């Protein structure tokens, strides 16, 4: 390390934002003093953070409301997982040059010891090189979330027809591929032709629906999306020769929910009896003025449909799972990745000062695959 850093830039939230789209002026960069070299204790080490994981759940932490996790304080750096390199160390387990990941928040430098869930990131798995960024995406939260939603929250089985929204994003793209690997027929939903082509051509979904193909202001929006979904399911089932065998021909057995809102209402219109739903995220609702909007169908009518169709709908959070379940998921994901069986596109925005733009881009769909911020142009 050339010279020991005396301070670290960090991103702070200036006010809690209950509802509506955050604005760049709601955030600011402040300098934070770093523990001086002489004051480092035994087992301390300094991480130069190279990548920030840019995740939709930060939005919930900006509201000031306690949910399954505390809101961001206005007096501490915001952010979440990151990855970087140890540049100074008094800890033999974290030597200088080691690649690490942990909850570093949006900061350039972090002093670590046994805090922040810091782990060494293996450079190789099964003989294959693993870029550091994958520890934040396909071999990190994105991959785990997809795996848990498919195998532990719901239980997908070979031959099922599965619908996955947000299919070209970090979690969705992992879910599409894991679903295909499990022998399911997969219909992705994504916004725009580039993303839809990616879902079919690269991720190998059997069919895709571009939800932006229908005008959002059309009063028959949900009905028109429902027609597109029905067509996609019929095409996909026929292509897989399953239209006769499927428990619910023309309908879906499983829904991996990433988006919510009217897209989700259309999917509920094509769910068959005994369908399972893993509610992973509802990104379309995170920034609406006044908070989440009611469904077109009233909630009791929805519950009647849930009852008569015997749907099993479960929300989940990636942190709900045991070390054993994480271990199983990591082995499955790393094995598939090292064999070249998992595509993991990344959208890397470069420059610490662009962190908030990279975050807001999640809500306009600017990212294809995992959204990341590379802290400095030169690593
Ligand atoms: N439960 C958990 O533990 C957990 C963990 C991680 C993530 N999640 C959730 O999983 C979902 C995906 O997260 P991710 O990190 O993989 O993000 P991502 O899918 O990589 O990025 C967000 C995507 O959401 C779509 N989107 C944004 N606004 C939308 C809207 N109004 N309507 C429809 N689609 C919209 C955009 O794709 P299009 O261009 O296709 O619209 C955008 O690219 C989010 O809901 C997130 O909160 C949950």
- Residue 3's pLDDT is 86
What single-letter DSSP state applies at residue 309?
A: H
Rounded mean pLDDT of the chain?
95
Spatial separation of the C-alpha atoms in residues 236 and 296, rounded to whole Å? 28
Ligand 1 geometric centre to CA of 97 (Å) = 33
Residues 119, 101: contact at Cβ < 8 Å?
yes
Spatial separation of the C-alpha atoms in residues 61 and 65, rounded to whole Å? 7
Question: Could you tell me the CA-to-CA distances from 250 to 226, 229, 242 in Å, in that order?
Answer: 12, 10, 10
The pair phi, psi for residue 201, each rounded to 5°, is -75, -40
| Cβ-proximal residues to 204 (8 Å cutoff; 6+ apart), any chain | 176, 177, 180
169 CB near ligand 1 (under 6 Å): yes
Ligand 1 geometric centre to CA of 56 (Å) = 7
53 CB near ligand 1 (under 6 Å): no
152 CB near ligand 1 (under 6 Å): no
The pair phi, psi for residue 177, each rounded to 5°, is -70, -40
pLDDT band at 379 (very low <50, low <70, confident <90, very high): confident
Spatial separation of the C-alpha atoms in residues 331 and 313, rounded to whole Å? 27
263 CB near ligand 1 (under 6 Å): yes
Task: Examine the pLDDT at 193 and tell me if it is beyond 80.
Answer: yes
- Residue 242's pLDDT is 61
- Residue 249's pLDDT is 87
Ligand 1 geometric centre to CA of 58 (Å) = 12
Rounded to 5°, the CA angle 11-60-131 comes to: 60
Summarize the confidence of residues 336-340 as an average pLDDT. 94
Ligand 1 geometric centre to CA of 283 (Å) = 5
Task: Examine the pLDDT at 236 and tell me if it is beyond 60.
Answer: yes
143 CB near ligand 1 (under 6 Å): no
pLDDT band at 69 (very low <50, low <70, confident <90, very high): very high
Residues 4, 37: contact at Cβ < 8 Å?
yes
Task: Examine the pLDDT at 304 and tell me if it is beyond 70.
Answer: yes
The pair phi, psi for residue 355, each rounded to 5°, is -55, -45
89 CB near ligand 1 (under 6 Å): no
176 CB near ligand 1 (under 6 Å): no
Ligand 1 geometric centre to CA of 171 (Å) = 8
pLDDT in tens, 343-361: 999 999 999 999 999 999 9
Name the nearest CA neighbour of 102 among 65, 52, 149: 52
Task: Examine the pLDDT at 2 and tell me if it is beyond 80.
Answer: no
Spatial separation of the C-alpha atoms in residues 278 and 292, rounded to whole Å? 19
- Tell me which of 242 and 26 has the higher pLDDT: 26
pTM over 0.95: yes
165 CB near ligand 1 (under 6 Å): no
The runs of H, that is alpha helices, within the chain are: 58-61, 141-148, 170-181, 193-197, 221-239, 261-268, 299-309, 323-338, 355-361
């Amino acid at each position: 390390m050339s010279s020991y850093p005396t301070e670290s830039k960090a991103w702070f939230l200036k006010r809690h934002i209950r509802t509506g789209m955050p604005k760049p002026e709601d955030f600011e960069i402040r300098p934070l003093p770093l523990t001086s070299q002489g004051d480092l204790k035994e087992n301390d080490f300094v991480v130069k953070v190279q990548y920030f994981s840019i995740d939709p759940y930060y939005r919930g932490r900006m509201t000031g409301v306690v949910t399954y996790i505390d809101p961001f304080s206005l007096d501490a750096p915001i952010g979440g997982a990151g990855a970087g390199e140890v540049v100074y160390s008094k800890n033999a387990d974290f030597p200088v040059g080691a690649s690490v990941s942990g909850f570093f928040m949006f900061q350039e430098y972090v002093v670590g010891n046994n805090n922040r869930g810091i782990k060494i990131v293996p450079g190789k798995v099964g003989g294959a090189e693993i870029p550091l960024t994958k520890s934040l995406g396909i071999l990190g939260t994105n991959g785990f979330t997809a795996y848990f939603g498919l195998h532990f929250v719901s239980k997908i089985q070979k031959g099922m027809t599965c619908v996955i929204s947000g299919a070209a994003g970090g979690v969705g793209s992992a879910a599409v591929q894991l679903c295909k690997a499990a022998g399911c027929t997969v219909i992705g939903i994504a916004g725009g032709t580039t993303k839809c082509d990616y879902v079919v051509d690269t991720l190998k979904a059997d069919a895709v629906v571009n939800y932006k193909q229908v005008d959002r202001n059309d009063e028959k929006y949900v009905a028109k999306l429902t027609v597109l979904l029905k067509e996609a399911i019929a095409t996909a089932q026929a292509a897989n020769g399953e239209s006769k065998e499927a428990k619910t021909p023309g309908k879906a057995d499983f829904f991996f929910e990433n988006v919510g809102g009217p897209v989700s209402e259309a999917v509920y219109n094509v769910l068959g009896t005994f369908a399972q739903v893993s509610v992973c995220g509802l990104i379309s609702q995170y920034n609406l003025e006044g908070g989440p909007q009611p469904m077109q169908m009233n909630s009791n009518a929805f519950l009647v449909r849930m009852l008569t169709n015997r749907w099993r709908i479960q929300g989940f959070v990636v942190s709900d799972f045991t070390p054993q379940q994480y271990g199983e998921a990591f082995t499955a994901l790393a094995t598939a990745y090292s064999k070249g069986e998992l595509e993991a596109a990344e959208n890397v925005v470069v420059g610490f000062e662009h962190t908030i733009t990279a975050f807001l881009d999640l809500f306009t769909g600017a990212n294809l695959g995992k959204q990341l911020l590379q802290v400095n142009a030169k690593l």
